[in-house]
């Protein structure tokens, strides 16, 4: 089956795609409409009236919910699609108008328009290591970035390059997207494919904004001066340029496994305005679907509707110079055999031209624009869609190999890594040693994009303490001599486990002065403290840096990262009590408990 999510008259719907038996054009059938229509029409139809099938009419409201119904749900959906196609061909083709819409008449959204996880792998093809001096072996664990919901757009929506993000060039390539059907944790390698619902096409787009904001580096493209040559800023510049709004087209459909067959035997094409720019093959993935699902689920839960895209299989980042974008209409095309063709125009806007939330290319942003700004009494951890973390953001970071920079380092993580005070945090089975830290965080009040200097404070709902846990066992999997990304990614992934970033269950609504507040942390019988004045960049600096390219959503969390107030502890077989506070901003208390599996 081909499954789609679409928008018609400002209403989100989903369904399966079939061909009109007369015109051959694509139609999207809403499964909730079919049973009632068939009930009325079959009663007057010879043959079918005596063998009337029973179909459910209580499908979930969105496609992610339908995937959560499991294999039985997808099987029933497939049975309905087969029956309808046969009925249209044999009996009453006019029924199609009552249960479906022409694809040309709707706005196709990404199949999962608001994914909880949209994790994009990098360096996952031979092109990254072929003929590279100094790479003697590969570490078999994935490197990748988490994309926020504002980056995800559907087929036909414009890729917007703002703030000079396309200067002196932008880049793009096609990637295979894998959509999780059945969630789980600790998924065995041999069972991993059972958790896949299907596949989709992803266009991975990147720009150069976070390279250009480095002083003296404007216009140098994907290059950084030597003093910015630490991996965490390289990741900020590279991945920050990928997670920007509208830079992740997905679709047009989710194609179920049975329609694709072998996902490692598909030709893939990247085109520009219809002209081919690259041709590759899915067998070029160095880390495959099963291994990546097994690896991610070793520390965090996968959920129905999660999207993992597996990196380029050919050329990484086909460049488009800015002068070409500004002079000629440009359409990006990505195609994967048996999965689908994705087309998206590129639109360049002036550096300070706003992108209205109500007409934003990302449906997730448009939908959030209908929500009122949050109040402190309304917020809960479950409302957060994203969490952003600063790295190397304290006075002593230079002694840890992260020199002071003129711009902050930050990366995005899954919101499922947030937890609430009072809720135990269960360690993954793999965890052997933890780093526990007290941090200053800010909760976002309203949709925030392109924040000007001095305007970020209005975006804040509350300052808050946050306790982060970092699983140091990731470092044990790194085999030296390793690449810089392999060596430093443990500091990122170590914070991604379920509930590993703990906030108060209720925030206080305080957005006053963030400096000169005492931070205190107790882990078991160990106590440490620090001051929020140790931070180099404050909440407003982080909000301005992130929102320059990525829309922050109401309820999102931005943490300033760890300072020296942290405790390294070997995990134990008994629960460990953690308590933390920042003066005037609240307290946190919870237990770290051993893995139950």
Per residue, what are the HEC states of 501-517?
Answer: EEECCCCCCCCCCCCCC
HEC readout, 453-467: CCCHHHHEEEEEEEE
Q: What is the mean pLDDT of residues 535-562?
A: 97
Strand partners, 576: 592
- The 10s digit of each residue's pLDDT in 272-320 is 999 999 999 999 999 999 999 999 999 999 999 999 999 999 999 999 9
For residue 133, what pLDDT is reported?
78
Q: Cα angle at 263 between 181 and 265, to 5 degrees?
A: 175
At residue 535's C-alpha, the angle toward residues 531 and 541, to 5°, is 135
Q: Are strands 409-414 and 386-391 parallel, antiparallel or unpaired?
A: antiparallel
Task: Give residue 363's pLDDT band: very low, low, confident or very high (50, 70, 90).
Answer: very high
Alpha-carbon gap, residue 299 to 499, rounded angstroms: 11
- Residue 241 near residue 210, CB atoms below 8 Å: yes
Which phi and psi angles does 242 have, rounded to 5°? -95, -30
> Is domain 2-108 annotated with CATH 2.150.10?
no
Instruction: Enumerate residues 6+ apart whose C-beta is below 8 A from 184.
Output: 195, 297, 301, 302
DSSP, residue by residue, 116-156: S-EEEEES-SGGGTTT-TT-----SS-EEEEPPGGGEE-TT
Q: What's 372-597's CATH class?
A: alpha beta
Contact 120/142 with Cβ under 8 angstroms?
Answer: no
- Kindly tell me if the per-residue pLDDT of 41 is higher than 90: no
Please give the pLDDT value at position 297: 97
Strands 418-420 and 576-582: unpaired
H/E segment holding residue 84: helix 70-90
Structure tokens at 100: 């479906």
Cα atoms in the 13 Å half-sphere on the side-chain side of 563: 25
pLDDT in tens, 386-443: 999 999 999 999 888 899 999 999 999 999 999 999 999 999 999 999 999 999 999 9
How far, rounded to the nearest angstrom, does the alpha carbon of residue 424 sit from its chain's CA centroid? 26
298 near 428, Cβ under 8 Å?
yes
Nearest to 241 by CA among 167, 298, 340: 167
β-pair type (275-281, 152-153): unpaired
**Residue pair 333/342 in contact by the 8 Å Cβ criterion:** yes
Q: Do domains 115-132+144-207+242-370 and 372-597 have the same CATH topology?
A: yes
For 174, the token pair is 């096609």
Averaged pLDDT, 563-591: 93
Residue with tokens 């609430």: 420
Looking at residue 193, its pLDDT comes to 97
Summary mean pLDDT of the chain? 93
Phi first, then psi: give them for residue 398, nearest 5 degrees: -60, -35
pLDDT one-digit tens code per residue, 311-329: 999 999 999 999 999 999 9
The arrangement of strands across the sheet holding 267-272 comes to 159-161, 340-348, 330-336, 267-272, 275-281
Q: Which structure tokens are listed for 440?
A: 């200053």
Note the pTM of the prediction, 2 decimals.
0.96
Do strands 159-161 and 340-348 pair parallel, antiparallel, or not at all (unpaired)? parallel
Does the domain at 115-132+144-207+242-370 match CATH 3.40.1280.10? Answer given as no
- 481: which residues sit within 8 A by CB, 6+ positions away? 134, 136
Tokens standing for residue 25: 């054009």
CB 332 within 8 A of CB 203: yes
* Kind of pairing between the strands at 118-122 and 307-309: parallel
Torsion of CA 200, 81, 196, 336, to 10 degrees: -20
Please give the pLDDT value at position 25: 94
Q: How many residues does the chain have?
A: 597
Parallel/antiparallel/unpaired status of strands 425-426 and 586-593: parallel
DSSP type of residue 486: H
Kind of pairing between the strands at 118-122 and 143-146: antiparallel
**Domain limits, the chain:** 2-108, 115-132+144-207+242-370, 372-597
DSSP structural state of residue 191? G
């Amino acid at each position: 089956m081909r499954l789609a999510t679409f928008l018609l008259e400002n209403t989100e719907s989903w369904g399966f795609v079939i061909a009109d038996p007369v015109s051959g054009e694509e139609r999207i059938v809403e499964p909730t409409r079919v049973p009632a229509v068939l009930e009325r029409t079959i009663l007057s139809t010879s043959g079918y009236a005596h063998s009337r099938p029973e179909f459910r009419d209580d499908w979930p409201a969105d496609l992610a919910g339908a995937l959560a119904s499991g294999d039985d749900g997808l099987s029933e959906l497939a049975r309905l699609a087969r029956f309808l196609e046969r009925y249209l061909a044999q009996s009453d083709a006019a029924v199609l108008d009552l249960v479906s819409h022409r694809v040309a008449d709707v706005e196709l959204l990404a199949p999962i328009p608001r994914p909880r996880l949209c994790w994009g792998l990098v360096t996952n093809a031979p092109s990254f290591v072929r003929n590279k001096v100094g790479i003697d072996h590969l570490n078999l664990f994935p490197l990748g970035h988490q994309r926020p919901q504002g980056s995800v757009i559907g087929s036909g929506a414009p890729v917007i390059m703002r703030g000079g993000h396309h200067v002196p060039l932008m880049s793009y390539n096609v990637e295979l997207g894998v959509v999780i059907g059945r969630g789980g944790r600790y998924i065995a390698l041999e069972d991993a494919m059972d958790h896949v619902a299907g596949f989709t096409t992803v266009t991975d787009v990147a720009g150069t904004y976070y390279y250009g904001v480095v002083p003296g580096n404007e216009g140098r493209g994907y290059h950084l001066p030597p003093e910015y040559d630490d991996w965490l800023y390289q990741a900020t510049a590279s991945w920050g340029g990928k997670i920007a709004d509208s830079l992740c087209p997905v679709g047009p459909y989710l194609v179920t496994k049975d329609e694709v067959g072998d996902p490692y035997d598909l030709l893939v094409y990247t085109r520009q305005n219809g002209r081919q720019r690259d041709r590759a093959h899915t067998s070029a993935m160095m880390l495959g679907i099963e291994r990546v699902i097994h690896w991610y689920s070793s520390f965090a839960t996968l959920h129905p509707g999660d999207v993992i895209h597996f990196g380029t299989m050919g050329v990484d980042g086909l460049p488009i110079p800015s002068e070409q974008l500004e002079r000629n209409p440009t359409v990006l095309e990505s195609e994967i055999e048996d999965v689908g063709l994705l087309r998206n125009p590129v639109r360049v806007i002036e550096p300070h031209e706003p992108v209205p939330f109500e007409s934003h290319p990302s449906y997730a942003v448009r939908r959030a624009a209908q929500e009122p700004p949050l109040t402190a009494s309304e917020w809960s951890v479950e409302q957060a869609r994203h969490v952003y973390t600063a790295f190397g953001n304290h006075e002593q970071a230079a002694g840890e190999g992260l020199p002071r920079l003129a711009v902050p380092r930050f990366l995005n993580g899954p919101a499922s890594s947030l937890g609430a005070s009072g809720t135990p945090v269960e360690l993954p089975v793999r965890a052997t040693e933890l780093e526990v830290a007290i941090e200053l965080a800010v909760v976002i009040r309203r949709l925030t994009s392109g924040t000007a200097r001095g305007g970020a404070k209005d975006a804040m709902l509350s300052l808050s303490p946050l306790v982060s846990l970092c699983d140091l066992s990731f470092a044990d999997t790194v085999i030296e001599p390793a690449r810089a990304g392999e060596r430093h990614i443990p500091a990122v992934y170590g914070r991604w486990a379920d509930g590993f970033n703990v906030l108060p269950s209720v925030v206080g609504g305080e957005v006053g002065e963030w400096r000169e507040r005492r931070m205190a942390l107790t882990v078991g019988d160990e106590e440490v403290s620090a001051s929020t004045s140790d931070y180099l960049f404050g909440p407003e600096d982080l909000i301005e840096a992130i929102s320059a390219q990525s829309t922050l959503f109401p309820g999102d969390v931005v943490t300033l990262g760890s300072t020296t107030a942290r405790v390294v502890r070997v995990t134990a077989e008994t629960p460990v009590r953690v308590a933390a506070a920042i003066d005037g901003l609240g307290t946190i208390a919870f237990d770290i408990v051993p893995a139950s599996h």
